[in-house]
Amino acid sequence: MAVKRAKLADSLGSLARHVAPKGEGSATEPGAAPAENSGGKTRADAMKGFRYMQVRINEDGWEELQNLRIAQRRSVQALAIEALNDLLAKYGRHQVVKGPAE
């Protein structure tokens, strides 16, 4: 069993090296360069100051949200940020919710 795992790990490492874009190391290689966005910052730098949020909704609600997203030509995240700011305004709070691209 350990031999099979070692072979699988070697195969996955080899595959990762072949799939990685030229000039970038694989995530499985020691000393691999961190991924950078167009501004020269790492993804971790770009996401500093942001928190993640996960919500579960029913299927009908998901379908309506997808239809709205398509009709408005906006992302679900943009719609969620708008909704959260509307909620803050409803309760007299400052509308300060922003996403990484805003």
Q: Mind listing the pLDDT tens digit for each residue in 29-72?
A: 445 455 555 567 787 777 888 888 999 999 999 999 999 999 99
Angle (CA) 100-48-86 rounded to 5° is 40
Is the Cα torsion angle 28, 32, 38, 41 positive or negative in sign?
positive
pLDDT at res. 58? 97
How far lies 99's CA from each of 33, 52, 53, 62, 73, in Å?
26, 10, 11, 21, 17
Region for 94 from its dihedrals, namely left if φ exceeds 0, alpha if ψ lies in -120 to 50, beta otherwise: beta
